[in-house]
Amino acid sequence: MSARKFKDGGVSQCFHCSAQLVRIKGGFTFAELETPDGHKVRVHKQCLSEATGHGYRPARATGSAS
């Protein structure tokens, strides 16, 4: 069984804890981080504070894949 994917091709897993992102009303709820080399990764909103640092910074507060 493969993980669900976003319409833009991204995997629906948290970059920090590797668990599946929360899905509500047909879309995903997540926060985005920007890696030191400029890539955007998705994390649970609860994982955002733990994942921020060491060159990782919030890209935007919320997101949706609808």
Domain that holds residue 48: 1-66
Amino acid at 24: I
| pLDDT tens by residue, 36-55 | 888 888 888 888 888 888 78
The span from the CA of 15 to the CA of 6, in Å, is 14
pLDDT category at 66 given cuts 50, 70, 90 is very low
Q: Which pLDDT band holds residue 13 (cuts at 50, 70, 90)?
A: confident
The overall longest dimension of the chain from CA atoms, in Å, is 34
How many domains does the structure of the chain reveal?
Answer: 1
Q: What percent of the chain has pLDDT over 90?
A: 3
Ordered DSSP codes for 14-42:
-TTT-PBPEEETTEEEEEEEE-TTS-EEE
Report whether 38 contacts 19 (CB < 8 A).
Answer: no
Identify the pLDDT of residue 6. 56
Compute the mean pLDDT over every residue in the chain, rounded to the nearest whole number. Answer: 77
